Structure 1
Amino acid sequence: DDKPMLQAIGNDALQKSFRNILKAFYGALKSQDGCIKFAMLTGVTKFGKVSVFSDLNNLNDISMWNKYVDICGVSEQELYDNLGAELHEFADARGMTYEEVCARLKEMYDGYHFTHNSKGMYNPFSLLLAFDRNEFKSYWFETGTPTYLVELLKKHNYDLHRMAHEETDTQVLNSIDSESTNPIPVIYQSGYLTIKGYNEEFDIYRLGFPNREVEEGFVRFLLPYYANVDKVEAPFEIRNFVREVRAGDYESFFRRLQSFFSDIPYELARELELHYQNVLYIVYKLLGFYVKAEYHTSEGRVDMILQTDQFIYIMEFKLNGTAEEALQQINDKHYARPFETDSRKLFKIGINFSTETRNIEKWLVEN
């Protein structure tokens, strides 16, 4: 029942129309409460501040109650208690041990926390499809990710780097205000972020991606909306990036990265630094599923370290500086020192991003 409201985010007139329809429906439901012994309402989001439920004010909200956290998922104990034989069949089919299959299922599909100090829950949709096919895939994302989530992130100029360690409070998590400039409640209530920690003194929740399926699926989904690449080509671009990094082919890597930034619309100029950092962050996250990656950001610059079996890349990206300055910074700050005794080939790379050309202007390599 919340889908029309969600898809009308940003369209106030349509939201108001849908809100009035839902209010009338819930008002009629309230008038029949003498005939209702038990009713359970479920949905993705709660529009608490927009008064959808103002005529149905006798609800008992169990969204963040610890005793109800396992009502809609599969706990680890339930998995072991009920699917022991299937776990062994899965392991045999994949040529893995029982323990390896359990660990991989946990990494892929576990990790949902609907309140603090609660046990983790597995996504039942993905878990059961994995058992049905004996394959570890991103099943949830094959059902389609709503584009309004990306539109919210872009509309509010959200820094994607924040997403994996966002902090917020109970009130924000528990309702959506159509006027709000905070996209996090919708992202959280849609299941892309979950509770990772809690500070009881200040009632602050730390959020993050629940598992690899969600993290990799969501970041892959974001790529065509931020970079100059279409949805069909995006998976091949990622594969090519990984291939180039593993082969030591940094020239092809940076030419491909340049193509990601081409055709940036002029109206993005005011948010250019955030845009270029968001694209770099998406590339870093996608590479990080295949190679060891580190990423740091501060005003006007990003540094990134990538490691493969044969190569180490230390990269410094600057905005409106010079590639020479970026390379100098790598040396002045001794970024390569931890790898002095490493036998792998080391590349130190300084890169400059120009707001004038709205692209990578130059890169310099020292090895």
Structure 2
Amino acid sequence: MNNKLYPIGIQNFEKIRKDGYFYVDKTALVYQLVKTGSYYFLSRPRRFGKSLLISTLEAYFQGKKELFEGLAMEQLEKDWITYPILHIDLNTQKYDTPESLENKLNGVLDDWESLYGTRAAEKSLSMRFEGVIERAYRKTGQRVVILVDEYDKPMLQAIGNEALQKSFRETLQAFYGALKSKDACIKFGMLTGVTKFGKISVFSALNNLIDVSMDERYAALCGITEEEIHRDFEDELYALADKQHMTYDEVCNELRECYDGYHFVEDSVGIYNPFSLLNTFFKMKFGNYWFETGTPTYLVELLQMHHYDLHRMAHVETDADVLNSIDASSTNPIPVIYQSGYLTIKGYERRFGIYRLGFPNREVEEGFMRFLLPFYAKTTKVEAPFEIQKFVREVESGDYDSFFRRLQGFCADTPYEMVRDLELHYQNVLFIVFKLMGFYVKVEYHTSEGRIDLVLQTDSYIYVMEFKLDGTAEEAMQQINDKHYARPFEADSRKLFKIGVNFSIKTRNIEKWIVEETGKEHCSTSTI
């Protein structure tokens, strides 16, 4: 029986070590970090272990040698000096007014000032921070360690609100500026967050930070590698295989497909999502654990605000400047989606410095599409999975009329304000629906000049579809035949359906579909 304690949701290093929870040893990388630089920034998706990393650094700089017994750090560190630590966690507050951030910082400063004293002349938040740093250094005789967890939480919560973003940016710029002005009093500084806001943002005051987010040496600082899985969880792999009636190799492949695939720098080792992995071993079954903990709605708001074509997410190309920094005024949602962990590096063209992005794994791809569906189609979060199940069953049984009537229901009541971008809206609805169906049946779609042609394959049927907007279903069918879309399947033993579909701007829905069923013709129209 497996008696291992899994630290699911536990972000405190001391608690993990004292209470006997399992810890994947990252302390050799922590040692390398503290011995080779002074100021760092690391961005990683939520629940990837950023808070645990900050807590590990805190225990190290507190000189708590006993917590590192049996870990790599025990052999590496000889001195174990205790430093004064200023730890800020911005994750524990709702930031919806300028005062909400000021109140949070004021509370943190009050705690520090009770330890290190105050000066009446220090009126602003930034002056008080500078004063605390200097007094902590002078009082203890050791330079100060500054640890900031989720530094970007206020900025992220204010995406879409330019006035609030500006207020937060100005407050944080001045506040974090103390890391530069009091450099002589500081031993080490580390900021973590999901995103990196650049250009005219808080980082303009922190150009002394080393950003290790895309540094190959620290790619595995958060998250779990395949090597670590086989080193630390071999018993769990066999137990999971037994529980799920799978072979050892099948379990390894399933874990890889579901939770691996994060690459935070080109040509680096793949990283597994630690939260999903630990939950899988704890519950001894596969699930969308990371996704079920909540996806920020600001991602969808960004996609919709910028009228983003979701097809582009399947083959995004960009450069390091875009990946490394978010410009709050930019119309490109991709940097936020990448840094939030919904896209990752899939390839790199060294000659031009171009990164190719894609979904890291099945959990993220399917979870993200399921999350998007209610924002684009007429369905709810609860209904969406069942609707996709019905779509799949209809095409698996050859019931294309029910399939298209259901699709009509998804497109019904398209908001009037979306009419100006109706073609993109339909493209996005189709992309999400067919992407979700693609986890159960084989789906291929190609876009050209805003049009979509689609091939859908089940065990018994092949569907070749062409969609038009304000054309005719007959024109769509003509294109299938003229361009010989069905030719690759003519020798296939499965039943073949060619389907021409037309969307109407007037009705804002599917107006008609025509089906040619292996030589016979069948025509249906919408009930609108």
Q: Which of 471, 475, 485 is matched with 1:325 structurally? A: 475
Give the Cα–Cα distance (whole angstroms) in 2 for the partners of residues 40 and 134 of structure 1. 36
Which position in structure 2 is the counterpart of 1:45?
A: 195
Give the 5 Å matches for 1:191-340.
191-340=341-490
Give the Cα–Cα distance (whole angstroms) in 1 for the partners of residues 187 and 329 of structure 2. 36
Task: Tell me the secondary structure at the aligned position of residue 9 of structure 1.
Answer: coil
Alpha-carbon offset, residue 89 of structure 1: 0.6
Runs of 4+ residues deviating >4 angstroms: none
Q: Which of 265, 277, 297 is matched with 1:115 structurally? A: 265
| CA offset digits 1:329-353 (Å, max 9, x no partner) | 2122222222222221111111101
| CA offset digits 1:300-329 (Å, max 9, x no partner) | 521111111111111111111111111122
Counterpart of 2:316, as a letter, is E
Give the Cα–Cα distance (whole angstroms) in 1 for the partners of residues 352 and 495 of structure 2. 47
Which position in structure 2 is the counterpart of 1:74?
A: 224
Q: Which of 173, 196, 210 is matched with 2:323 structurally? A: 173
Which position in structure 2 is the counterpart of 1:132?
A: 282
Which position in structure 2 is the counterpart of 1:28?
A: 178
Give the Cα–Cα distance (whole angstroms) in 2 for the partners of residues 268 and 184 of structure 1. 22
Which position in structure 1 is the counterpart of 2:307?
A: 157
Give the Cα–Cα distance (whole angstroms) in 1 for the partners of residues 189 and 236 of structure 2. 35
Task: Tell me the secondary structure at the aligned position of residue 191 of structure 2.
Answer: coil
Give the Cα–Cα distance (whole angstroms) in 1 for the partners of residues 186 and 244 of structure 2. 49
Alpha-carbon offset, residue 159 of structure 1: 0.7
Question: Which one is further off, 302-311 or 97-106?
Answer: 302-311
Give the Cα–Cα distance (whole angstroms) in 2 for the partners of residues 208 and 330 of structure 1. 29
Give the Cα–Cα distance (whole angstroms) in 2 for the partners of residues 29 and 184 of structure 1. 30
Q: CA RMSD in A?
A: 1.2
In the alignment, structure 1 residue 185 sits paired with structure 2 residue 332: no
Counterpart of 2:233, as a letter, is L
Give the Cα–Cα distance (whole angstroms) in 2 for the partners of residues 338 and 167 of structure 1. 30
| CA offset digits 1:12-63 (Å, max 9, x no partner) | 1100111122123212343443343223211001111133023333211111
Which position in structure 2 is the counterpart of 1:349?
A: 499
- Asked if the contact 1:241/1:253 (under 8 Å) is kept, the reply is yes
Task: Tell me the secondary structure at the aligned position of residue 199 of structure 2.
Answer: helix
Task: Tell me the secondary structure at the aligned position of residue 363 of structure 1.
Answer: strand
- Asked if the contact 1:300/1:319 (under 8 Å) is kept, the reply is no
Give the Cα–Cα distance (whole angstroms) in 2 for the partners of residues 152 and 6 of structure 1. 11
Which position in structure 1 is the counterpart of 2:167?
A: 17
Q: Which of 88, 91, 99 is matched with 2:249 structurally? A: 99
Which position in structure 2 is the counterpart of 1:143?
A: 293
Give the Cα–Cα distance (whole angstroms) in 2 for the partners of residues 357 and 39 of structure 1. 59
Counterpart of 1:192, as a letter, is Y
Aligned residue pairs total: 367
Which position in structure 1 is the counterpart of 2:153?
A: 3
- Asked if the contact 1:300/1:318 (under 8 Å) is kept, the reply is no
Which position in structure 2 is the counterpart of 1:90?
A: 240
| CA offset digits 1:80-133 (Å, max 9, x no partner) | 111111110110010000000000000000011111111111011111111111
Give the Cα–Cα distance (whole angstroms) in 2 for the partners of residues 36 and 99 of structure 1. 50
Give the Cα–Cα distance (whole angstroms) in 1 for the partners of residues 204 and 489 of structure 2. 61
Task: Tell me the secondary structure at the aligned position of residue 39 of structure 1.
Answer: strand
| CA offset digits 1:199-248 (Å, max 9, x no partner) | 11111111111111110000110000111112121111111111111111
| CA offset digits 1:231-273 (Å, max 9, x no partner) | 1211111111111111111111101100111111222122111
Give the Cα–Cα distance (whole angstroms) in 2 for the partners of residues 346 and 57 of structure 1. 61
Q: TM-score, normalised by structure 2?
A: 0.68
Counterpart of 2:221, as a letter, is I
Gaps of 5+ in 2: 1-150, 518-528
Give the Cα–Cα distance (whole angstroms) in 1 for the partners of residues 210 and 466 of structure 2. 52
Give the Cα–Cα distance (whole angstroms) in 2 for the partners of residues 210 and 338 of structure 1. 31
Alpha-carbon offset, residue 135 of structure 1: 1.3
Percent identity reads 73
Q: TM-score, normalised by structure 1?
A: 0.97
Give the Cα–Cα distance (whole angstroms) in 1 for the partners of residues 342 and 199 of structure 2. 22
- Asked if the contact 1:172/1:185 (under 8 Å) is kept, the reply is yes
Q: Which of 194, 214, 228 is matched with 1:64 structurally? A: 214
Which position in structure 1 is the counterpart of 2:131?
A: none
